Amino acid sequence: MGDKILVLDAGTTSTRAMLIAPDGALLAVAQKELTQHYPAPGRVEHDPAEIWARTLACAREIAGDAMIGSIAAIGITNQRETVVAWDRATGEPLARAIVWQDRRTADLCRQMKDAGHEPEIQARTGLVLDPYFSATKMRWLLDHEGPVRAAHQRGTLAFGTVESWLTFKLSGGEHVSDASNASRTLLLPLDAMQFDGGLCDFFGVPEKTLPRVVDTMGELAICAPQWLGAAVPICGLVGDQQSATIGQGCLRSGDTKATYGTGAFVLTNMGDVVPRSEHRLLGTVLCQTGGMRTYAVEGSVFVAGSLVQWLRDTLGIISSAAETEALARSISDSGGVTIVPALTGLGAPHWQPEARGLIAGLSFASGRAQIARAALEAMAHQTHELAEAFSADGAPWSRLRIDGGMSANDWMAQDLADILDLEVERPDFVETTALGAAICAARGAGLYASIEDAAEAMRGSTRTFSPDMDGAQREFRLANWRRALGAV
């Protein structure tokens, strides 16, 4: 058996395959962009067939004839909450996937809230009633997509998140979802091992359409030899934010990480304590091994890197994401410009799907640099809001470990440390989402005796950013943010 891990990282804007060595070194990577479909305001869709085809193409590029024998296992990490509907008999998708960013079920969620259902739902699942999560997406597909209804009537309908879809395709029919992804559906009680019939009935999702909930690590399925030239065990399945938390080595209660990708997601490890938030944060499964769970509290911000992408692709203010750092450094402050990046609503701790973005404080002195800097500052402002909510829930941060594509921006990393008044630690290898999946798969394949051993061996060196901002300047920034937020 080989000792390398093939990671399939099915993200929101692209899908990748990465070959990772037992010491965590990245040996090879292949990447293909995913087409973003926006059929109406607030709607975001992907083509499941494209996700599968491009993921397989990346995997084959990495796991060629010369490399397949060196691969011990596959680890899969994925955009969470995104829903795929397919036919178990044919293996073909029945509709476009509804992406986690999609807001089409906001009215349904509001009706459920107004009827007083949210407190019980949150107590059971750790989640709030928001279109972000999977259950109302599944319900929408049943209500509005004829092929989905027809498959349900035939008894061949399968629902799943993206890791479930890819595992089904790779294995030739294994319908499973790991506990970390299953805990994002609104259909899994945090203290239950399988999806709950009562919750399924409440949301109108047929229980028999759902996958079996399994561990995040272990021999979970087998990739059929037709795809990569040899049968390879799938030994790690984990949602992308939980994966980044593991990749950051946040394996002790109280350890906290923030990932700045398309959105921004902060998780604090809560050990074996089932989390109960009083401040609009989420309780989620971090990982599950041998049926034993580790939990986390999570704060989810919907817009982070996608704000920079919007400045580049829609407004044309910048030509590349990297340009924002130089622009931010070129001026001493944003000139009073503040951005509230609610382009797809506000996530934690507000949960306002109807909110829309705002640029405040514009004047004739405002230009590209001020807007670019304000976009980066918005990351620290949103994170500070989450820090306050975590602290109020009894989970204060002592330091913050950051990762994701945006975290490579040194100016933003320092700004986070300044606004949070905390040390911020960034690994030299910022692809911690892929690394977390590799750690899970390495542990699941038996390459390491424990997940702690795997993380210790595979994590690399880090850099620390220390706060260097006086309190008056910090409070001035935060006051501007609060004023702008109040206008949304």
| C-alpha distance from residue 106 to each of 49, 84, 98, 111, 203 (Å) | 27, 19, 13, 9, 14
Beta strands (DSSP E) in 112-209 are 157-160, 176-178
Smallest CA-to-CA distance from 416 within 402, 433, 432 is with 402
Contact 485, 384 (CB under 8 A): no
Q: What is the CA radius of gyration of the chain?
A: 21
Query: Which pLDDT band holds residue 487 (cuts at 50, 70, 90)?
Result: confident
Instruction: Determine the pLDDT at residue 290.
Output: 92
The string of pLDDT tens digits covering residues 91-120 is 999 999 999 989 999 999 999 999 999 999
Q: What is the identity of the amino acid at 111?
A: Q
Instruction: Determine the pLDDT at residue 66.
Output: 60
Percent of the chain whose predicted confidence (pLDDT) is above 90: 80
Contact 281, 125 (CB under 8 A): no
Walk me through the domains of the chain, giving residue ranges and CATH numbers. 4-241 (3.30.420.40)
b/e map 192-223, b = 16+ CB within 10 Å: eebbbeebbebbebeeebbbebbbbbbebbbb
Q: Is the dihedral of CA 272, 276, 277, 280 positive or negative?
A: positive
Three-class secondary structure of residue 446 per DSSP: coil
The string of pLDDT tens digits covering residues 321-363 is 889 999 999 999 999 999 999 988 888 888 887 889 999 999 9
Dihedral angle at the C-alpha atoms of 100, 298, 126, 116, nearest 10 degrees? Answer: -70
Instruction: Determine the pLDDT at residue 65.
Output: 63
Strand partners, 212: 176
CA distance 132 to 300: 10
pLDDT at 68 over 90: no
Distance in angstroms between the alpha carbons of the first and the last residue of the chain: 56
The string of pLDDT tens digits covering residues 385-420 is 999 999 998 888 989 999 988 899 999 999 999 999
